[in-house]
């Protein structure tokens, strides 16, 4: 997935930019800004390249640089249900609704988060799963969801690769040039994804940059979804016609008399 021209673009941007301030600047570029989901979509991997710009006036950083990349997918309303034994059968008994919850969240860094910045800083910057407050709306009983529901949400999303915390996903190619791999699993929601890159030095966030990527359904995939939603009657008739054609075709092919 490493595209040489992307790398070149980053380097060109690096060389061409005039830098007025003495602080570091962060430049990043995604290998693609659009992920197309077709019928054969089985997930994909994107690469983010970034460069830390500094000039002669920039103060030297003793501890070196750290990078945290947060990728946040479209916010959705999610329901977490818990099965209980009711009248002898296991069935969904309790449920809690989580409003405006990211459907996708990847926190990628070059080392474990707690080695990059103190917990208080991470929480203030809303970095990492521990810091993200999962909003929750009124539950069945009007209570806020117990911790086990929150943990279940995180666990279920992590199992599908939709929530990911990877302290080894960012690698430094040179002390100021880095790359991060962003994995998009097959079940990712379509929509706009926000890619936020933060630069840390000595436990302090000193620069940030953000970009966006979009996941869209295309081709047959897109056609079926929009037809089913927007032209449901015609879609139903078309599906039925397809069924009748298949049945009719079979009766001709396999005709035995």
Return residues touching another protein (CB under 8 A). Answer: 37-42, 74-85, 88-92, 95, 97, 99-101, 103, 149, 152-153, 155-157, 186-187, 189, 191, 217, 220-221, 224-225, 228-229, 232-233, 235-240, 242-244, 246-251, 254-255, 257
Q: Are 201 and 68 in contact (CB under 8 A)?
A: no
CB of 251 to another protein, least distance (A): 4
CB of 163 to another protein, least distance (A): 11
Instruction: Name which of 22 and 39 has its Cβ closer to another protein.
Output: 39
- What is the rounded CA–CA span in Å between residue 161 and residue 155? 10
CB of 45 to another protein, least distance (A): 16
Residue 142 buriedness (CB in 10 A; 0-12 / 13-18 / 19+):
exposed
Instruction: Name which of 138 and 242 has its Cβ closer to another protein.
Output: 242
Instruction: Name which of 95 and 171 has its Cβ closer to another protein.
Output: 95
Instruction: Name which of 49 and 98 has its Cβ closer to another protein.
Output: 98
Instruction: Name which of 9 and 228 has its Cβ closer to another protein.
Output: 228
- What is the rounded CA–CA span in Å between residue 151 and residue 128? 14
Q: 26 vs 10, 54, 208, CA distance in Å?
A: 11, 9, 6
Instruction: Name which of 23 and 218 has its Cβ closer to another protein.
Output: 218
What does residue 24 show for φ and ψ, rounded to 5 degrees? -70, 150
CB of 161 to another protein, least distance (A): 12
CB of 164 to another protein, least distance (A): 16
CB of 117 to another protein, least distance (A): 29
CA dihedral 165, 204, 20, 49 (to 10 degrees): -20
167: closest CA among 103, 206, 117, 102? 117
Torsional sign, CA 233, 238, 239, 243: positive
């Amino acid at each position: 997935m490493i595209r040489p021209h992307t790398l070149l673009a980053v380097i060109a941007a690096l060389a061409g930019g005039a830098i007025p301030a003495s602080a570091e600047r962060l430049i990043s570029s995604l290998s693609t800004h659009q992920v197309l989901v077709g019928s054969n979509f089985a997930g994909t991997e994107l690469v983010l390249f970034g460069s830390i710009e500094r000039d002669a006036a920039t103060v030297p950083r003793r501890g070196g640089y750290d990078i945290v990349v947060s990728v946040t997918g479209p916010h959705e309303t999610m329901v977490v249900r818990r099965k209980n034994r009711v009248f002898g059968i296991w069935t969904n008994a309790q449920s809690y609704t989580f409003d405006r919850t990211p459907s996708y969240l990847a926190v990628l860094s070059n080392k474990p988060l707690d080695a990059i910045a103190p917990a208080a800083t991470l929480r203030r910057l809303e970095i990492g799963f521990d810091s993200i407050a999962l909003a929750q709306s009124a539950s069945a009983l009007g209570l806020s969801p117990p911790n086990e529901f929150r943990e279940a949400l995180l666990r279920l999303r992590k199992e599908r690769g939709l929530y990911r915390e990877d302290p080894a996903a960012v690698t430094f190619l040179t002390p100021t040039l880095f790359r991060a791999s962003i994995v998009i699993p097959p079940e990712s929601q379509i929509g706009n994804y926000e890619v936020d890159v933060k630069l840390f030095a000595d436990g302090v966030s000193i620069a940030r940059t953000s970009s966006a990527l979009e996941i869209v359904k295309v081709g047959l995939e897109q056609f079926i979804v929009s037809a089913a939603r927007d032209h449901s009657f015609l879609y139903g008739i078309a599906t039925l016609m397809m069924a009748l054609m298949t049945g009719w075709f079979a009766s001709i092919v396999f005709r035995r008399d």
